Structure 1
Amino acid sequence: MVIPLSIRAAAELEIRRRRTEELKRINGDSETIRERLGMPQLHPAQIRMLAESRRYNVASCGRRFGKTFLSADVLLDGPRKKGALHGYPVALYAPTYQTMLESWRNLVYLLKPITSQKSEQNKRIDLNTGGCIEFWSLDNPDAGRGRKYATVVIDEAAMIKRLEESWSQNIQPLLLDYQGEAWIVSTPKGDNFFKTLFDYGHAANPARDDQWQSWQIPTWENPHINREDIERMRSSMPRLAFMQEIEAQFVTFAGTFIKAEHLHSGQPPEGMTLYQGVDLAISMKENADYTAIVTVGVDKNTGRVWIVDAERRRVGFRDALDFIQSKAERWRPESIAIEVVQYQAAVVEELLRSTDLPVRQVRPDKDKLTRAQGLITRYENGLVWHAETLPQEFINELLSFGPDCEHDDMVDAAVYGYMMTGDYGKTLFILPKNPETEVMQKRQAMVERGMPGLPDGVMGILEKQPTESEVCGNCTAFNSETKLCEERHVKVRAHDPGCSLFVEAEG
């Protein structure tokens, strides 16, 4: 059923139509303008989506599918010619101000040849076609209230915390005047309101609303993405993460990252080089997080990652120092990785000042789930084994690890320890050339410190022998000011062995 426009909207539409016809004679039609702007050609999957579209459109897309270009095309042109190139007011909504800014900057640059004016303060671009684009952040669910639009795009909708409120009480009513259309696009993120909107138009839904259309489009539908890279990601990412991020499937992560069948236990082999991860939480309050220390090693003969020891305590500043020192004395780790944020920096500074412990600072630049992916993948592949003496509380944390878990201190510490092993993101250690010199010197130093030597099998399974210059500090990932490896996010000391991430200055 076609709903008639209001008298005012109909009058505005007629004025807009006449103005658009006049501007067409000046600027050319939308295809001419697209060529003038240098807009990229849509790929086949995007073209198919435009052809199948309805009034309300929900696209669950894999990463790098091409959501940005599709959204720009819809806002400017659109399948029903209700874009800004045709004289209409349109809007783009983003989860946060920061993500909205990226879209704003991209379109300001793209549309410069046909922009009549723009407002940095109001984030509005007026085009000489008579149309305009406004940009809003849904940090405020009422953003744009009182406007009227012919087309809206809601970008990364699954990330919007109050999407149901924003859509039902604000955005959908803004489309009434022009019988406007909406495109709600995102990579999925669990069973949230974006999934509810997706179900409205899903072909498998027996109660499907005929005004809605939904698509589930994996990353590989973009022909510009290398399929071999995708297959490598399939083998390196946790199964559920790949299903969500690449296949664009709706999956629930909480409590399902690591399952009981992924767990194996036994007697750790002797001779492993050990590493420790520390997750600090300095507080004696009963509801506070724990300070956790986990000791990790890699058996180079089998490729197994071993969790040798795990413990957590609620401690204050001085007790945290004692806790770290006692664990270091017990296991003699090659490196101790400690997350450095806020007050944790004081603990690291004190350890470096008052002890000779091999402390390395870790600056997390990713969320905990992303950081844990490498270790989770190895659990799924049966490559992580536990010492039989590990406490049950560590097992409980692993099996409940997810976005909403109450405690994840020991899992975080295990990830930091694993990052130090050299197996983080790759398979084997890469040691310096000339084992009779550098490696033997390193082994002797370890023996003098009371640590076990390197396993004899290491030298026989190395896949590559770097040149003598291939040590940390000679790699382009090394930041000479911070003394950090910017690939592995760890502190680098003189003569540390290079790794398979090594990149020479010449490229």
Structure 2
Amino acid sequence: MSTKALEITLPKPYPLQREILAHSARHKLIVAGRRAGKTVLAGLMAAHYLLDGKQVLIASNTAPQANIFWDMLERWFAPLTAAGLVVRHRAHHTLRLGNGLLTVRTASEPDNLRGFSADLLILDECALLPASIWREVGIPILADRQGRALLISTPKRKNWFFELYIQALRDTSGTWKTWAFSTEENPHIARAEIEAMASNMSEISFKQEILAQFVDASGQVFRNIEQCTYEERYNTYEDYCKTYHDARMALGIDWGRSEDYTALVVGDIQNRKVVYVERFTQIPFEQQLARVVELVKAWHVEIVKAEYNSMGGPMVERLQSLLEGTSTQVYKFNTTSATKPRIIEQLSIAFERVQIQIPRYEEALLHELEFFSVLDTTSTNRYTYGAPKGVHDDYVIALCLWYDIVVNVNIRWVY
């Protein structure tokens, strides 16, 4: 460009990104680990198409993710916007340059993209999007312009994106080209940062999120269960403290509904050792609460964390009232699609690393842990954790809540 005012500075792609950008395949499919450079790669491709006067549509799985693309591209093209060459429409997330138009949208509802036409379609985090985003919506978007596609994602189980990856891998026509690479391929991410991420992930999560490997949709969540068991029986708090003088007790509660159990897990958060478990069903709420209070007193429980959803709300509030004036703190836990996987995965890591102890003689607890799985769901592209049909998971959830206290014992909770 002839003047400084008309220059824009784009990030310099690293070697693998340059290879992908330069390849002539019509459709490119990228399977990559987190922070591997997928977003910058897609942004560079979109920028080049816009500068060439082409129509570009970027579709991400969520509004926050779409905003990352928008903020990045808006920043890159700011000099041309200031010079009046690019027309920016923030409300619509569009940049217009001559005959070129770049649009950023969310794609969680693929039908909202019908009617678009593009020379380049970028589908971001495909594995989290419905299968129809490509087959029923994406392909028609490219039809009238004979457009090209860039599909990028970190794997999320072996869903439709995995099937498309295998199909593209076997393509011999030259239409498709695939790349699969881990986070380590990004030269801008320090090895120490990757190790820090890995330290907070289970083996399955590490394979998927960092190594960019497709993992099975179902399978046992908790490993090394046997290695985490112990034989001793502790009948009372005083009995336990003969061995562990620094004991600090906490209680996790999963309230039962209809045929479910109310499950209680008491454990020493100082030594990460479960000492007592109990469950019951079909008894009045006041009797359940009375039993909880009795257990709190018997085991000198300092902290209680209980599920707050649905019927749990009034139960937690009533328990707080019953324990008012004591030294026991009661915290609520709202179970959501974001919070439940977090507490399950951190417990999974504890079992993997043998950082937790549970009593070997509590067969119901061991049974639930052994059968607790990543469930296969065809209606969503996210992992769903739970027990197979006919198996309870009440102890597992109560154990997760207890272990969440272990992990966050020095953190003040705010919910």
Other-structure match for 2:394: 409
Equivalent residues of 1:351, 1:357 under 8 A apart: no
Q: Distance in 1 between matches of 2:126 and 2:341?
A: 20
Equivalent residues of 1:360, 1:490 under 8 A apart: no
Other-structure match for 2:35: 64
Which stretch has the larger CA shift, 351-360 or 40-49?
351-360
Query: Is residue 94 of structure 1 aligned with residue 79 of structure 2?
Result: no
Other-structure match for 1:155: 124
Query: Is residue 191 of structure 1 aligned with residue 166 of structure 2?
Result: no
Equivalent residues of 1:158, 1:193 under 8 A apart: yes
Tell me by how many angstroms 1:313 deviates. Answer: 3.7
Other-structure match for 2:237: none
Tell me by how many angstroms 1:339 deviates. Answer: 3.9
Q: Distance in 1 between matches of 2:173 and 2:267?
A: 53
Question: Equivalent of 1:377, from 339, 345, 349?
Answer: 349
Aligned pair in 2 of structure 1 residues 144, 490: CA closer, same or farther (>3 Å)?
closer
Structure number with bigger Rg: 1
Equivalent residues of 1:200, 1:208 under 8 A apart: no
- Output the amino acid matched with 2:367: I
Tell me by how many angstroms 1:226 deviates. Answer: 1.6
Tell me by how many angstroms 1:53 deviates. Answer: 5.6
Q: Distance in 1 between matches of 2:89 and 2:69?
A: 15
Other-structure match for 2:379: none
Other-structure match for 1:140: 109
Aligned pair in 2 of structure 1 residues 193, 306: CA closer, same or farther (>3 Å)?
same
Counterparts of 1:174-213 in structure 2 under 5 Å? 174-202=141-169, 205=170, 210-213=174-177
Equivalent residues of 1:200, 1:209 under 8 A apart: no
Other-structure match for 2:13: 42
Counterparts of 1:75-474 in structure 2 under 5 Å? 75-77=46-48, 83-115=49-81, 116-121=86-91, 123-160=92-129, 162-163=130-131, 165-202=132-169, 205=170, 210-252=174-216, 254-259=218-223, 263-267=228-232, 270-271=243-244, 272-281=247-256, 283=257, 285-286=258-259, 289-297=260-268, 300=271, 305-314=272-281, 317-341=285-309, 344-355=312-323, 356=326, 358-363=328-333, 366-402=338-374, 403-406=384-387, 407-421=392-406, 424=407
Tell me by how many angstroms 1:59 deviates. Answer: 1.0
- TM-score normalized with structure 2 length: 0.81
- Output the amino acid matched with 1:54: A
Aligned pair in 2 of structure 1 residues 262, 169: CA closer, same or farther (>3 Å)?
farther
Equivalent residues of 1:61, 1:218 under 8 A apart: yes
Q: Distance in 2 between matches of 1:52 and 1:322?
A: 69
Tell me by how many angstroms 1:193 deviates. Answer: 0.6
Q: Distance in 2 between matches of 1:256 and 1:52?
A: 40
Tell me by how many angstroms 1:314 deviates. Answer: 4.2
Q: Distance in 1 between matches of 2:97 and 2:198?
A: 47
Aligned pair in 2 of structure 1 residues 75, 157: CA closer, same or farther (>3 Å)?
same
Which stretch has the larger CA shift, 149-158 or 102-111?
102-111
Equivalent residues of 1:219, 1:246 under 8 A apart: yes
Equivalent residues of 1:124, 1:132 under 8 A apart: no
Q: Deviations over 1:267-324 (max 9, x none)?
A: 166323322112335x3x23xx543221222575xxxx32223333446643442242
Q: Distance in 1 between matches of 2:317 and 2:210?
A: 41
Helix, strand or coil: the match of 1:412? helix
Helix, strand or coil: the match of 2:398? helix
* Percent identical residues: 25
Structure number with the higher strand fraction is: 2
Q: Distance in 1 between matches of 2:147 and 2:290?
A: 65
Tell me by how many angstroms 1:398 deviates. Answer: 4.4
- Output the amino acid matched with 2:268: G
Considering only aligned residues, what root-mean-square deviation do their CA atoms show, in Å? 3.0
- TM-score normalized with structure 1 length: 0.67
Which stretch has the larger CA shift, 270-279 or 211-220?
270-279
Aligned residues: 382
Aligned pair in 2 of structure 1 residues 253, 290: CA closer, same or farther (>3 Å)?
farther
- Output the amino acid matched with 2:251: Q
Tell me by how many angstroms 1:246 deviates. Answer: 0.7
Structure 1: which 4+ aligned runs deviate by more than 6 Å?
none
